């Protein structure tokens, strides 16, 4: 190795090796490069990347910590360290790193950098930390509509509805692109309307008249107007907007009925796993499954009020594990143990305190009940069930952002997914009769206290804290379509809701009532 190479040449060669997955060769080259440029921060960042690629996470994080000790405002090092920590389940530590980095005024003044930090923390479910950075960045960039839109998005999930509305409205006033940033859906989700004199009705109609509007944004405005008219009992007008919004969204969705059917049949035909993990010490997951809009969010909130129970919302990890080649077919015990350790780390995180039971309320996990109970034999599976007509209507009234929910825009697709949910859960019940229990939404909202008492007794959860009552409101972030409803006192108003739409949505009549 000569001494004529510049730092940039070293970096190009090292980064190429890392891109190719040749971490050992990259580390060897780094040793020579650092001998010539021992104070290079760029080389140290590359070193951390090579170590992380080799699975030497602790060493990689140590290198990044050294960089941040010298410069706490080094956003590149802070983001890399936060990603490494967050991916290993240390989300609170990741948030602390990013917040310390953004104590630097120069970073806050860079709106694009602040948005990158917000998205990083939001991805690790650190909503409060992300919202605080958004607010601080707005002080330094008062007219940046993007920051206001992000602040609004986070605040509705945190239940801060009035603050969210102020930020959303500011974004719309300052930047026409805000119509493309899910702002109308956010505005309509942040409250319940009482009459059509509310300014949002005219605002949404104004949005529909915009010429430079994508189909996706136009669909979202129709859903926002549909929700607003539903609130005030204007069911015919609500149905018209929902139908227009669903027609556009159905045309745009990537969801495939053929792919769904293939997946379900494969799950039904799968053979039981040969191996099964032992119980994980101090960690028992509770998987709440079923059709979305069947009461999964409400049930998770009520159960999570027990001591030592932590509600993690809709975790993506079980579905991700199910899609990994290492777990295809009949994996060995070592692969299953690695998967269980990864899942537990992401559910536990580093802020769980004394929690032992962890709720994962991703509804579509009904596809992977066998994997869940293979990884965690002590897990509990709770199936939420609701009137098919109410469920279908509620799904059809939502504008989902995820492709996995693309079936919700067509009643035929909704009926198929509901039917397959029943088939799969009947299949899992036969295979795991002691681990699965059903809860009816209608019964839950009519008598929440007794229903929860019976359920938690079956789960083996601690007795209730007498200071916590079933009708108290949640304080954690809620990122599902139920973010408004779940913060209201438990009520039975949604039972039989489909009857308001029976005359204007005849497709509902093709579904069973229960």
Interacting residues of 132 by C-beta distance below 8 A, sequence separation 6+: 99
Torsion of CA 38, 44, 48, 51, to 10 degrees: -30
Q: What is the DSSP string of 150-165?
A: HHHHHHHHTT-HHHHH
Where do the CATH 3.40.50.300 domains begin and end in the chain? Answer: 258-510
Q: Is 74 left (phi over 0), alpha (psi -120 to 50) or beta?
A: beta
DSSP state of 88: T
- Sheet of strand 436-440, all strands in order from the earlier edge strand to the far edge: 309-311, 357-360, 284-290, 380-385, 436-440
In terms of C-beta density within 10 A (0-12 exposed, 13-18 middle, 19 or more buried), how is residue 215 classed?
exposed
Interacting residues of 79 by C-beta distance below 8 A, sequence separation 6+: 98, 116, 117, 120
Contact 74, 68 (CB under 8 A): yes
Q: Output the CATH code of domain 258-510.
A: 3.40.50.300
Interacting residues of 239 by C-beta distance below 8 A, sequence separation 6+: 226, 501, 504, 505
Helix (H, G, I), strand (E, B) or coil at 40: coil
Contact 397, 226 (CB under 8 A): yes
Strand partners for 309: 357
Torsion of CA 448, 449, 455, 458, to 10 degrees: -170
Distance of CA 122 to the CA centre of its chain: 9
Tens place of pLDDT per residue across the chain (514 aa): 445 689 999 999 999 999 999 989 999 999 999 999 999 999 999 999 999 999 999 999 999 999 999 999 999 999 999 999 999 999 999 999 999 999 999 999 999 999 999 999 999 999 999 999 999 999 999 999 999 999 999 999 999 999 999 999 999 999 999 999 999 999 999 899 999 999 999 999 999 999 989 999 999 999 999 999 999 999 999 999 999 999 999 999 999 999 999 999 999 999 999 888 777 788 999 999 999 999 999 999 999 999 999 999 999 999 999 999 999 888 999 999 999 999 999 999 999 999 999 999 999 999 999 999 999 999 999 999 999 999 999 999 999 989 999 999 999 999 999 999 999 999 999 999 999 999 999 999 999 999 999 999 999 998 765 444 444 444 566 666 555 566 677 788 889 999 999 999 999 999 998 8
Where do the CATH 1.25.40 domains begin and end in the chain? Answer: 143-232
Q: Output the CATH code of domain 143-232.
A: 1.25.40
The dihedral through the CA atoms of 404, 405, 411, 415 has a sign that is positive
């Amino acid at each position: 190795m000569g001494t004529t190479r510049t730092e940039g040449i070293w970096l190009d060669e090292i980064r190429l090796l890392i891109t190719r997955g040749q971490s050992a060769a990259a580390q060897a080259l780094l040793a020579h490069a650092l001998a010539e440029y021992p104070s290079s921060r760029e080389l140290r960042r590359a070193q951390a990347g090579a170590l992380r690629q080799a699975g030497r996470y602790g060493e990689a994080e140590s290198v990044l910590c050294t960089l941040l000790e010298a410069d706490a405002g080094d956003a590149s090092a802070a983001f890399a360290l936060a990603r490494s920590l967050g991916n290993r389940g240390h989300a609170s530590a990741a948030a602390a790193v990013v917040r310390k980095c953004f104590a630097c005024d120069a970073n806050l003044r860079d709106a694009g950098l602040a948005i990158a930090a917000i998205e990083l923390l939001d991805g690790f479910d650190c909503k409060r930390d992300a919202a605080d950075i958004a607010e601080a960045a707005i002080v330094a960039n008062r007219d940046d509509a993007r920051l206001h839109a992000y602040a609004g998005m986070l605040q509705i999930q945190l239940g801060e509805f009035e603050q969210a509305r102020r930020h959303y409205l500011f974004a719309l006033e300052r930047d026409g692109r805000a119509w493309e940033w899910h702002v109308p859906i956010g505005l309509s989700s942040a409250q319940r309307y009482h009459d059509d004199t509310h300014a949002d009705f005219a605002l949404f109609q104004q949005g529909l008249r915009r010429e430079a509007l994508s189909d996706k944004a136009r669909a979202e405005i129709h859903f926002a107007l549909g929700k607003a008219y539903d609130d005030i009992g204007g069911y015919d007008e609500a149905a018209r907007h929902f139908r227009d919004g669903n027609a556009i969204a159905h045309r745009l969705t990537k969801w495939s009925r053929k792919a769904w059917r293939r997946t379900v049949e494969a799950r039904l035909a799968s053979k039981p796993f040969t191996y099964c993990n032992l119980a994980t010490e101090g960690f028992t997951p509770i998987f709440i499954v079923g059709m979305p809009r069947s009461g999964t969010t409400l049930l998770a909130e009520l159960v999570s009020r027990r001591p030592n129970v932590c509600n993690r919302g809709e975790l993506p990890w079980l579905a991700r594990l199910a899609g990994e080649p290492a777990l295809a077919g009949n994996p060995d015990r070592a692969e299953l143990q690695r998967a269980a350790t990864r899942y537990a780390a992401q559910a536990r995180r580093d802020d769980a305190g004394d929690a032992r039971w962890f709720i994962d309320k991703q509804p579509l996990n009904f596809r992977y009940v066998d994997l869940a109970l293979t990884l965690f034999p002590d897990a509990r599976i709770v199936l939420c069930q609701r009137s098919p007509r109410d469920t279908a209507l509620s799904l059809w009234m939502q504008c989902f952002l995820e492709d996995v929910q693309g079936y919700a825009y067509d009643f035929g697709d909704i009926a198929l997914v509901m039917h397959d949910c029943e088939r799969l859960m009947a299949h899992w019940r036969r295979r795991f009769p002691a681990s699965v229990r059903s809860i009816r939404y209608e019964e839950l909202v009519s008598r929440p206290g007794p229903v929860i008492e019976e359920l938690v007794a079956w789960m083996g959860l601690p007795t209730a804290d007498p200071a916590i009552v079933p009708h108290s409101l949640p304080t954690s972030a809620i990122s599902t379509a139920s973010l408004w409803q779940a913060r209201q006192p438990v009520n039975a108003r949604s039972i039989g809701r489909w009857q308001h739409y029976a005359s204007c949505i005849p497709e509902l009549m093709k579904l069973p009532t229960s």
